[in-house]
Structure 1
Amino acid sequence: MSEKLKKGIYIIPSLFTCGNISCGCLSVISSINGNFTESVWLLIFAIVFDMMDGRIARLTKTTSEFGVQLDSLSDLMSFGIAPSVMMYQLVLNSMGKVGKSIAVLFILCSALRLAKFNVRANDKEVHSSFMGLPTPAAAGLLISFVLSYELFIVDLGQSLTFKTIPILMKNMPVFFKTMPVVMVLLSLLMVSNIPYISFKKVEFSKPKVFRLLILMVFFIWLMLTFPQNIIFILFTLYAFSGILTYMAKYWKILKRIYSSKVEK
């Protein structure tokens, strides 16, 4: 393989990473201008770019330390700074110093989470789980909330042209009021040691692939039917999945300790 071709292949994943950071920068500008729906969709594109760059790098065997560092910088922009600015403009700016502190906390925890990920990535092994809530997932929950909230405002204007989940839309103002607390919780989850499933190591050769395929088709149908609402539900379920798994793990440990004491 010629030297020029090698360089060209190494550039491809970085182009997707640059697309990620560009979407993050444009999202910040849109949030400052009050265009929250546009800001959200830019971050959704950033998530897509983030999913693509790593997979392309592994597929073409062009992973590099440069790519890892560039990816982390772009993730900090798109999934740390951009959603924090969005939520500050939409929710936190009325809370004064407390709102500013929550916005800064989210960015700091995103940076710490990404630094921890880079240290763990140095062993070159693809892990089956993440330690702490991934930054794209934390950002995804916030931006999916904004999508649903913007949808709620449109619904009040009686100009809605697609289906929504009534019970979710009815409680959207309640979600809005709890978002500062949710941001603090997401920040703590990012720097925690709670394991979250990684889909990088999913093996499609196993017998359960058929059930996985059916589940994927079902989710695609839901997303096409209730697009904004389902995105919000999926990210919320993923955020809580780690907590529930962690609690189940320690519940089993406590049961074993209790059983051993009873036997004695």
Structure 2
Amino acid sequence: MSENLKKGIYIIPSLFTCGNISCGCLSIISSINGNFTKSSWLLIFAIAFDMMDGRIARLTKTTSEFGVQLDSLSDLTSFGIAPAVMMYQLVLTSMGKIGKSIFVLFILCSALRLAKFNVKANAKKVHSSFMGLPTPASAGLLISFVLSYELFIVDPGQSLTFNTIPILMKNMPAFFKTMPVIMVLLSLLMVSNIPYVSFKKMEFSSPKVFRLLILMVLFVWLIATFPQNIIFILFTLYAFSGIFAYATKYWKILKRIYSSKVENNGN
């Protein structure tokens, strides 16, 4: 009885991972058909499935090598190939060989990022932060951009069903023009050694839980009010948070070295 229950528990996280893969595959079909809004929302669901499968596996103590490998393959499909296809169809297709190169680069860097993560997982190396931008975050920025951009190009005779942030929508054409460069930057961030905050080990029993709860309520309200725009802002801030933290760290090191040299010269 307990063995059958154990097998059932192992199946549950895998079902969520399969949901992730399914959303990624359906997203690719939607992108090929030119339905980028549907494609983007399918990948948002894929991110939700990806967040749940790991947490369920850890909660039920059913993490396994099979689950790790299946999750990695699903992430490559949903957060490497699917967003790359979507951006190729929307932005890169008119750029010829350069567009194809950026398309391939994004998928390759996604695969390398996931392979590096798997090696650390097999070595049982658990860290409080991710090394390199996680693939769901990289894909999330592209997805949220498409959702906001689709609102920008909506037919003037068609009324918007969501509120938008005017200053962000005004700059959508500029974001569109720089998207190939942003894709290259995201690709390099994925294979970099820049640390990114991991939310997997958040302690909800800590004294900061009340402030965290207030922030979560605020985020939920903002997303409910400006869904596409806020999702874009959150993923953008997360992507650049690692660069800012990395730059700040090395600025402090350089400042310390400079101060030490000044003191030595003074003596």
Q: What is the TM-score when the length of structure 2 is the normalising length?
A: 0.96
Aligned to 1:168: 168
In 1: Cα distance, 2:29 partner to 2:162 partner: 28
Aligned to 1:263: 263
Aligned to 1:87: 87
In 2: Cα distance, 1:124 partner to 1:184 partner: 31
Give deviations 1:13-38, integer Å, cap 9, x for gaps. Answer: 11100000010000000000001111
Aligned residue-pair number? 264
Displacement of 1:208 in angstroms is 1.6
Other structure's SS at 2:161 match: coil
Give deviations 1:52-90, integer Å, cap 9, x for gaps. Answer: 000000011100000000000000000000000000000
In 2: Cα distance, 1:157 partner to 1:204 partner: 47
Aligned to 2:56: 56
Displacement of 1:2 in angstroms is 2.9
What is the Cα-based RMSD across aligned positions, in Å? 1.1
Aligned to 1:135: 135
Give the aligned residue type for 2:235.
F
Other structure's SS at 1:161 match: coil
Other structure's SS at 2:200 match: helix
Give the aligned residue type for 1:250.
Y
- 1:191-230 correspondence runs (5 A): 191-230=191-230
Q: Which moved more, 1:143-152 or 1:121-130?
A: 121-130
- Listed as ranges, the gaps of 5+ residues in structure 2 are none
In 2: Cα distance, 1:169 partner to 1:216 partner: 24
In 1: Cα distance, 2:26 partner to 2:157 partner: 28
Q: What is the TM-score when the length of structure 1 is the normalising length?
A: 0.97
Give deviations 1:185-234, integer Å, cap 9, x for gaps. Answer: 00000000000000011112222221111111111111111110000000
Report % sequence identity. 89
In 2: Cα distance, 1:49 partner to 1:105 partner: 25
- Listed as ranges, the gaps of 5+ residues in structure 1 are none
Q: 1:115 to 1:157 in 2, by over 3 A?
A: farther
Aligned to 2:21: 21
In 2: Cα distance, 1:157 partner to 1:137 partner: 34
Displacement of 1:6 in angstroms is 1.6
Q: Which moved more, 1:3-12 or 1:251-260?
A: 3-12
In 2: Cα distance, 1:19 partner to 1:129 partner: 26
Q: Which moved more, 1:200-209 or 1:81-90?
A: 200-209
Q: Which moved more, 1:66-75 or 1:200-209?
A: 200-209
In 1: Cα distance, 2:162 partner to 2:188 partner: 35
Aligned to 2:110: 110
